[in-house]
């Protein structure tokens, strides 16, 4: 592909020196897991999100799992979430033995519909798990209001949205816990797997800290069965080197999104809505068109990558499809056939965006 979906190598010159110095330091320190770099990263992420705590772990899926488990959600409980997301969102619910209840999204934001949440609440509902899909914040005011009315926890899936904010409040600071993925292609990506939870709740933070490390608060003393979900120092070094660039990288993504929209306006496409100021960090730039497959084929012929997130909604995936046989989610199902994500990464250029848009214009113009 002459234009890839993401080009992680393009950022390397900005961070390489800091990373090499940090890795050298770790090698010499002999401390490889949950050491000083991880602790510093936890402080940095808590500061970014404006939360009292951040707890590092091994992946975004683990972050969700640890948060749900620490909240005491388990068998017999229901967690309301979206089917228009990555499977990790629902896997975490299944891991604790709870049942994911999938409700529809709003077609204009791709995010969970607060009205649909209210309609799905039962006596077993314990939590709402919104996803800030593609980097666009879900409607946290409405979701928070539903949660308060019914005494439910909110756990945010912030895997795609680090740095996004609503009314000056960052994602990860709205619910009982925020859950972040640092998978390499995310807006803040490690050079391997990594994750983080954020919370203002001291007891929840303490529980997640113990859970990620074999249920241990004191070495070789175990209070409950936990997990091995720790962060290594090398990943913490990489993430701290990149964190200093996150604001600029997210600003670049917003500028690229605006450039795409300017060049694609007027075509028979639904363009993504950036929402209120700061609410979108464009992990993906995703358009909708009934002629999606045709557009994607033309891009491919031109050597331009594009991707479908996600072609099969979770209520139609093998692990959930039987339990969800009678679940119908019209907006989710329509989006799955119409969405197309275009190349997006901080070091993308106007010339490359021109190239992508010229091909799309050639098909739809
Ligand atoms: C990436 C992602 C996850 C899972 O994160 P991992 O670090 O890959 O485990 C969960 N939810 C969403 C929405 C994601 O994009």
Residue-wise pLDDT tens digits, 118-150:
999 999 999 999 999 999 999 999 999 999 999
Q: Compute the chain's Rg from CA coordinates.
A: 20
Structure tokens, 286: 């995703």
Cα 27 to chain centroid, rounded: 31
CA 232, CA 245: separation in Å to the nearest integer?
A: 21
pTM of the model: 0.98
Q: Which atom of ligand 1 is nearest to the CA of 193?
A: 7
Structure tokens, 98: 């709870």
Non-local (6+) Cβ contacts of 322 within 8 A are: none
Residue 157, φ and ψ in degrees, nearest 5: -90, 100
59 lines ligand 1 (CB under 6 A): yes
Q: How far is the CA of 67 from the centre of ligand 1 (A)?
A: 14
Tell me 315's DSSP state.
G
CA 286, CA 307: separation in Å to the nearest integer?
A: 9
Q: How far is the CA of 340 from the centre of ligand 1 (A)?
A: 19
341 lines ligand 1 (CB under 6 A): no
Instruction: Identify the bridge partners of residue 270 per DSSP, sorted by sequence position.
Output: 288
162 touches 187 (CB < 8 A): yes
88 lines ligand 1 (CB under 6 A): yes
Instruction: Report pLDDT for 1.
Output: 65
Burial class (CB in 10 A: 0-12, 13-18, 19+), 356: buried
Closest C-alpha residue for ligand 1 atom 14: 159
Cα–Cα–Cα angle for 117, 202, 58, rounded to 5 degrees = 75
Of the chain, the percentage scoring pLDDT greater than 90 comes to 98
Task: Report, in this order, helix, strand and coil percent for the chain, each rounded to 5.
Answer: 45, 20, 40
Instruction: Report pLDDT for 171.
Output: 98
Q: How far is the CA of 267 from the centre of ligand 1 (A)?
A: 32
Q: Can you list the domains of the chain with their CATH numbers?
A: 8-243 (3.40.640.10), 246-364 (3.90.1150.10)
Residues 328-362: tens digit of each pLDDT: 999 999 999 999 999 999 999 999 999 999 999 99
Residues 261-299: tens digit of each pLDDT: 999 999 999 999 999 999 999 999 999 999 999 999 999
Mean residue pLDDT across the chain: 97
CA 145, CA 324: separation in Å to the nearest integer?
A: 27
User: How does DSSP assign 133-171, residue by residue?
Assistant: GGGBPP-HHHHHHHHHHHT-EEEEE-TT-TT-EETTEET
One digit per residue, the tens of pLDDT, for the chain of length 365 reads 699 999 999 899 999 999 999 999 999 999 999 999 999 999 999 999 999 999 999 999 999 999 999 999 999 999 999 999 999 999 999 999 999 999 999 999 999 999 999 999 999 999 999 999 999 999 999 999 999 999 999 999 999 999 999 999 999 999 999 999 999 999 999 999 999 999 999 999 999 999 999 999 999 999 999 999 999 999 999 999 999 999 999 999 999 999 999 999 999 999 999 999 999 999 999 999 999 999 999 999 999 999 999 999 999 999 999 999 999 999 999 999 999 999 999 999 999 999 999 999 999 99
Instruction: Report pLDDT for 206.
Output: 97
């Amino acid at each position: 592909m002459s234009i890839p979906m993401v080009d992680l190598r393009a950022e390397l010159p900005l961070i390489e020196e800091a990373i090499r110095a940090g890795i050298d330091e770790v090698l010499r320190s002999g401390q490889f897991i949950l050491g000083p770099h991880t602790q510093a990263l936890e402080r940095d992420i808590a500061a970014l999100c404006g939360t009292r705590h951040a707890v590092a772990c091994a992946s975004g899926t683990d972050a969700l799992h640890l948060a749900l488990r620490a909240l005491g959600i388990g068998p017999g409980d229901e967690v309301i979430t979206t089917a228009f997301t990555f499977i990790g969102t629902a896997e975490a619910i299944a891991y604790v033995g709870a049942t994911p209840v999938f409700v529809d999204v709003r077609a204009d934001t791709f995010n969970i519909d607060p009205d649909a949440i209210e309609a799905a609440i039962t006596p077993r509902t314990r939590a709402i798990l919104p996803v800030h899909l593609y980097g666009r914040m879900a409607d946290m005011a409405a979701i928070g209001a539903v949660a308060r009315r019914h005494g439910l926890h909110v756990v945010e899936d912030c895997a795609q949205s680090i740095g996004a904010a609503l009314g000056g409040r960052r994602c990860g600071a709205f619910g009982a816990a925020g859950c972040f993925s640092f998978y390499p292609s995310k807006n803040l990506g490690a050079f391997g797997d990594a994750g983080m939870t954020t919370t203002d709740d001291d007891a929840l933070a303490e529980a997640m800290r113990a859970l990620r490390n074999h249920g241990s608060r004191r070495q070789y003393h175990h209070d409950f069965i936990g997990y091995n979900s720790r962060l290594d120092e090398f990943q913490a070094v990489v993430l701290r080197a990149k964190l200093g660039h996150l604001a600029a990288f997210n600003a670049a993504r917003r500028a690229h999104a605006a450039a795409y929209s300017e060049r694609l306006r007027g075509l028979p496409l639904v363009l993504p809505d950036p929402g209120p100021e700061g609410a979108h960090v464009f992990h993906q730039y995703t358009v909708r068109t009934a002629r999606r497959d045709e557009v994607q084929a033309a891009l491919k012929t031109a050597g331009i990558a594009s991707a479908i997130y996600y072609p099969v909604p979770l209520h139609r995936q093998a692990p959930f499809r039987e339990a969800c046989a009678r679940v119908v989610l019209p907006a989710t199902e329509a989006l799955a056939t119409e969405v197309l994500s275009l190349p997006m990464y901080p070091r993308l250029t106007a010339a490359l965006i021109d190239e992508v848009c010229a091909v799309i214009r050639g098909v739809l113009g």
